[in-house]
Amino acid sequence: MEISFIGLIFGAIGWFLLMYVIRGFFTINQNERVVKTSFGRAQRLATTTLDNPMAEYLRPDERERYKYPQLQVIQPGGPYFKWPWEKIYKVSIATETVNLAFDAEDMNANRGGTELDAVTKDQLNIGLVGQLRFRVSDQNLYAYIFGVKRPLVHVLGYFVSILRQKIASFEAPEHQAAATAQVANASDLSAAAGVSINDLRKNLRLLNEDMDKGCMSSTARYGIVLDASLITGIDPPSDVESALAAINTAHNSVGAEVSLAQAAADQKLVQSRRAVEINTLNSQAEVEPLVQLAQQLADLKKNGGSGVLNAYVRNVKLSLFSKAKNAFVEVKP
């Protein structure tokens, strides 16, 4: 009986060592970060998110709301050890890609996660296609692990809300708006709708850059860094597809005509400048001998007096008389 009791004790000790000591060792991969809690409380540092540069993207009214403590993060390596009353939270910081129409709560939403609906400033429903790249920030793991229950759901909702707001208020740059006004009639609702969608299509890069800037506070809010938004396609409503095609054709035609007119004008301008240059050179060629002759006559008068100049004039007259067949001489009465 005593042997069985002692064996039970050793068995319990062995089970405890197996479950809580041997299994207490762990390692961390290169793309992972670990936060350890003791009795449910994470190991904290003396600073908060407000002491981190990520806080500069928060609005003044959000700073106290998202004031999270900075945690002691265990870096890759190991083996590390945890006691039975401690718990570890492993987080992958590798960059991930998700369809911007993905809905983690309803897989059938947004046409099965393939296309996101949005409304333009002209009250037209359009479909958006693209991807979103994100990664977990090891500078704000408290927000990611303990701040919200489902961080990815919050971030996607946050991103979609900003995207829809920008789509609803998007306006083309001034130089594009002026060019578009020459093509579309402002009183034609269908044309205006088509132009609005054209503006979005032409400025996908600008829209993506605005989204990147508008989502910089996601790190301080949810502990997730949005690396890039890649909106790759915008599908218009079917009832304005034909009007959109007509506007594109008209715009291309006007652009071609303007380019041809500009090229013709540039050619005429170059020709005019060349003609002015040629005439200027011809005038200079005709004037230069006269200038040289005047200089020579001035030098003769200066060095030899008026007598030399009169002799020069007489010699020139004789030369002319020798070449002339007839001469008319004035006879004084």
Q: Phi/psi at 87 (nearest 5 deg)? A: -135, 145
- Which residues, in sequence order, are CB contacts of 28 under 8 Å at separation 6+? 34, 74, 75, 76, 77, 78, 80, 90
| Distances, alpha carbon 26 to alpha carbons 22, 44, 75, 175, in Å | 9, 21, 12, 60
The two structure tokens encoding residue 288 = 């230069």
- Only one residue has tokens 């492993």, namely 90
| CA–CA dist 166, 119 (Å, integer) | 10
What is the model's pLDDT at position 192? 44
Helix, coil or strand: residue 319? helix
What is the model's pLDDT at position 188? 45
What is the model's pLDDT at position 191? 43
| CA–CA dist 58, 220 (Å, integer) | 7
What is the model's pLDDT at position 196? 67
What is the model's pLDDT at position 127? 84
Beta bridge partners of 35: 73, 89
Alpha-carbon torsion angle 282, 286, 287, 293, nearest 10: 150
- Which residues, in sequence order, are CB contacts of 224 under 8 Å at separation 6+? 134, 135, 136, 137, 144, 151, 152, 155, 218
Helix, coil or strand: residue 84? coil
Per-residue pLDDT of the chain (333 residues; tens, 9 = 90+): 455 767 777 777 777 777 766 777 888 999 999 999 998 898 898 899 898 888 898 988 888 889 999 999 999 987 888 888 889 999 999 998 888 888 878 888 887 878 888 888 877 788 888 888 899 998 899 999 998 888 888 888 888 888 888 888 887 766 555 555 544 444 444 444 445 677 777 888 888 888 888 888 888 988 998 888 888 888 776 655 666 566 667 777 777 788 888 888 888 888 888 888 888 888 888 888 777 877 777 777 777 666 766 777 777 777 777 777 777 777 766
* Beta strands at 125-136 and 116-119: parallel, antiparallel or unpaired: antiparallel
Asked whether the whole model's pTM tops 0.85, one would answer no
> Looking at residue 188, what DSSP letter applies?
-
- Only one residue has tokens 């910089």, namely 216
| CA–CA dist 219, 215 (Å, integer) | 9
Domains, in order of start, for the chain: 2-33+35-92 (no CATH), 93-258 (3.30.479.30)
Closest alpha carbon to 75 in 119, 44, 29 = 29
